[in-house]
Chain A
């Protein structure tokens, strides 16, 4: 094993919002690392700072104190433009409400991050097809979001998150809007992706989902209250390769 830095490293991260002169600490002094190939559940009740934490890992927000490192680089040292480019290339977002562009069909939605990687239309569409195929949605390529079921929309969203081969997929309550059976299918999809080496961080408040991840980070009132590695349900991939 080489001494390469962890994929994501949070060191004493705090995030304080100031609204109408009152400081609210959403995240307080949180530290942990995420290694390549992990599938991590971030759990906690609402208001516990899960989303704030995800925004910082996803380079949408910066900590008020402490530092977030992506592959050893402090993201606060990067320019806003550079962070945007990193979001396009290195981060794949999956949202609870899918967040597909309603006026674009599935394949265009999937190809969207590549627009910001400066990739030409022909290659964008070719890669979007492969990505859709990987989530079993190629037959719906030219359907618009409103013509798709919730589960199908979330699959398209996952295809979009995967298209630029990101370092990490960040999923914020990806099954929160789905019925349990469809939710299980989406989880199975994440598990399958993880088996191919994809690092995944998933926000959830469903303990059943957390048990399917190999590690659970628990937050309460913005503080880290638990970080446990579970009994291996999913076979862990070796970090080498």
Chain B
């Protein structure tokens, strides 16, 4: 008897008892579906983090305001903008590892083009911002020096904003849009960087202060909300970080022993740590899901043992008609394998559906991974072989004479 004949016989036997076959494979279905879903959610979360890490740019340090004491009262982090444009200049000029740096202030506002409008982040910054983040233009140009110095009425749009304000065929470059009643000329549209990053409109720092965000009480003429800086090489991150800290303590005249009024962070490193945590949690969940595969395997073994007992006479007939012991073993092993494979396939379908539903309902990013699907199918086959072997072996060992005598 060949493997193919074994599978044909197995399929025939399983079709005769569809409900029992389905219940038997349910454990495998649930196990495989959970593994596929957990993998999809886990790798989706990793993808999102990777995208965020990419969008920040490589080797980027971020300097944000820290705690401030005012007359002995400690205020909330960031309640006072402690960094200034001259801090940006100092960092650029005095720290050789820093390739580019830019200060930003940000707020939200309505942007309007003809009959369309959109609420987005307005980021006032300098061209250095795009250098730090390796952010290329899709079309147009960055700000000119004159525009940065003289608060030029120009804007560079993120791709989401460009899409929302302009019809697909329209070229935004040169068009007039309005932000808080101020007309601005679109000079550039940025490349896509990721859904969370592309919803933004950049204006020169001076323009933002003068025309939009300057009225906020905690912004004075020279201050910026945060600074981003690009370090030349990966190995220089720690050194550059402490140099920035020293420089800013000096410039902000912070006596030794007192807390900094700023924080230097490496966002990519923080996210990588987060990514590791996600991976650990996902592996843990997969391990738990695997337990249900084990339970599924045991239930298949149980049903197969019952089935061998029920079909003792059939086994006797097959042996008398020339079935070898290994033919009988193959027949029952094929049944267990078909149960597991079918269960695995249904489980993959269920897992894919489930993770797509989760993605839609919860708004999570999920990523269906061919490797995870392959792996769970391999697991199902292994389960079938391991838990199908004993009943099949038992069937093959039956004496044909005794088997023919049973009712």
Contact = CB atoms under 8 A, between A and B. Distances in A.
- Tell whether A pairs with B: yes
B322 interface: yes
Contact of B401 (A55, A84, A164): A55
B193 to A, nearest CB: 59
B324 A116 contact: yes
Given A60-B400, A99-B404, A160 B320 contact: no
A18 interface: no
Interface stretch (A28-36, A86-94, A185-193): A86-94
A101 B326 contact: no
A55 B401 CA distance: 8
B3 interface: no
Contact of A113 (B316, B322, B404): B322
Interface residues of B, number: 25
Contact of B321 (A61, A80, A112, A118): A112
Contacts of B400: 60
A37 interface: no
Interface string A113-154: 101111001000000000000000000000000000000000
A174 interface: no
Count chain B CB atoms within 10 A of each CB in A84, A103, A116 and give the residue with the most. A84
Contact of B1 (A55, A58, A99, A115): A115
Interface string B117-146: 000000000000000000000000000000
Interface in B323-375: 323-327
Interface string A41-74: 0000000000000010010110000000000000
B320 A60 contact: yes
Given A103-B16, A115-B5, A81 B325 contact: yes
Which DSSP category, helix, strand, loop or mixed, fits chain B's interface? helix
Contacts of B321: 87-88, 93, 112-113, 116, 160
B51 interface: no
A121 B1 CA distance: 11
Contacts of A95: 404
B319 A84 contact: yes
A60 B317 CA distance: 11
Contacts of B327: 84, 116
A85 interface: yes
B314 A85 contact: no
B317 A84 contact: no
B331 to A, nearest CB: 10
A182 B316 CA distance: 27
B318 interface: yes
Contacts of B8: 121
B80 interface: no
A159 to B, nearest CB: 13
A93 to B, nearest CB: 5
Interface in B274-329: 313-314, 316-327
Nearest to A85: B322
Contacts of A101: 314, 317
Interface in B1-32: 1-2, 5, 8-9, 12-13, 16
Contacts of B317: 99, 101, 112
Contact of A103 (B13, B320, B401): B13
27 contacts: A58-B320, A60-B400, A61-B401, A81-B324, A84-B327, A85-B322, A87-B319, A87-B320, A87-B322, A95-B404, A99-B317, A101-B314, A101-B317, A103-B12, A103-B16, A112-B321, A113-B321, A115-B1, A115-B9, A116-B1, A116-B318, A116-B321, A116-B327, A117-B322, A118-B1, A121-B8, A164-B322
Given A60-B401, A101-B314, A116-B323, 18 more contacts: A55-B401, A58-B320, A60-B400, A61-B401, A81-B325, A81-B326, A87-B322, A99-B316, A99-B320, A103-B12, A103-B13, A112-B321, A113-B322, A115-B9, A115-B323, A116-B318, A116-B321, A116-B327
List the 6 closest pairs (A to B, CB-CB), nearest first: A88-B322, A116-B322, A84-B324, A87-B322, A113-B321, A81-B324
